[in-house]
Amino acid sequence: MQDERRLAVLRAIVEDYVSTQEPVGSKALVERHGLGVSPATVRNDMAALEEEGLITQPHTSAGRIPTDKGYRLFVDRLTTIKPMTTAERRAIATILDGAVDLDDVVQRSVRLLAQLTHQVAIVQYPSLSRSTVRHVELVLLTPTRLLVILILGSGRVEQRLVDLDVAVGDDDVAALRGRLAAAITGRTIPEAAIELAAAVPPPDVAGVHAAVADVLLEALSDHRSSERVAVGGAANLARFGDSFEVSVRPLLEALEEHVVLLKLLGEAQGGGMVTVRIGHEGPYQEFASTSVVSTGYGPGDAAIGNLGVVGPTRMDYPGTMAAVRAVARYVSRILDEA
């Protein structure tokens, strides 16, 4: 019972500090949160929490603020992620449903995340090394010209023209389409490239197969190292300037490095799992005063990219986690329907 009460005190301190940006005292906690105990009992609980390193006193005679350890316990003990409001869900649908292609989806998502959370939003473009081949189509334009269409699980569509040395008919194209589809559909880009390179076609269509395979290999290799990110809401850092132990400038400079951002987001996690890294848990000292909330997105249960937000450790974790998860789910749905 005592542990549960102290956890309730910690939760109240986190919520009040995030809301007011001021150290929290025992009297304010009793007045605002109906803890059902006296201010003296709350003071004893706060002393115990401080001894455990979960809260700290920034200066003498001040209230208490959470430490990174305190935020971590608060996040770990969240039983549910705060649901999005109807207006927020409608805003997500309205903004993302209007996207015309993959680039537009990414750019709209990063703006939306920044607006919903008031933090710096980061969206990784789909990592095509983890993406799969969804469909391959061959369209006979003339007896010696084919249109090759490659659709990836990321939603990206590639089209290439192939000029042939010999004339082919509809039956030849249909047979070739079937062989290619069987070889690469559902495979990741690296796997599909290996299958194409190793395929041995029948002698009568070997030349046509080689020409089409070369074009497909070129389309696949164009994207093997595509590791880009979009960033939005960097100006939000200025709003929290006094929340960071370091200058905002190093943070802004670090946000310009895509390699840094990719590492900051971490490995894409499927299954809707939201990851929260608080303060020194992150990989970079420049971000020691920040928290990163991220999750993977992709069609089905596959995670082909990450998205998330960076902000001060004093953030609304339940609301931020809800926004990150909701946007990721919506982007995943768009890619699944592409």
Residue boundaries of the structural domains of the chain = 2-76, 86-127+227-337, 133-221
For 51: left if phi > 0, alpha if psi spans -120 to 50, otherwise beta; the answer is: alpha
For residue 206, what pLDDT is reported? 79
CATH class of 2-76: mainly alpha
For residue 82, what pLDDT is reported? 76
Of 111, 131, 109, 118, nearest to 326 (Cα)? 109
Question: Residue 63: what residue type?
Answer: G
Model confidence at 44, in pLDDT bands (50, 70, 90)? very high
Compute CA distances 194 → 37, 65, 183, 248, whole Å: 67, 55, 10, 46
Query: Are 85 and 279 spatial neighbours (Cβ–Cβ below 8 Å)?
Result: no
Q: Which residue has the higher pLDDT, 254 or 175?
A: 175
Q: Which CATH number fits domain 133-221: 3.30.390, 3.30.450, 1.10.3470, 3.30.70?
A: 3.30.390
Give me the phi and psi of 237, to 5 degrees please. Answer: -60, -35
What integer is the mean pLDDT of 152-179? 87
Can you give the C-alpha Rg of the chain in angstroms? 26
| pLDDT higher than 80, residue 134 | yes
Query: Are 116 and 327 spatial neighbours (Cβ–Cβ below 8 Å)?
Result: yes
| pLDDT higher than 80, residue 281 | yes
Of 131, 166, 129, nearest to 146 (Cα)? 166
Model confidence at 338, in pLDDT bands (50, 70, 90)? low
For residue 115, what pLDDT is reported? 92
Of 223, 224, 211, nearest to 138 (Cα)? 211
What integer is the mean pLDDT of 162-180? 90
What integer is the mean pLDDT of 312-331? 92
CATH class of 86-127+227-337: alpha beta
What integer is the mean pLDDT of 275-284? 87
For residue 14, what pLDDT is reported? 94
Mean of the per-residue pLDDT values of the chain: 84
Model confidence at 225, in pLDDT bands (50, 70, 90)? very low
Of 104, 125, 106, nearest to 114 (Cα)? 106
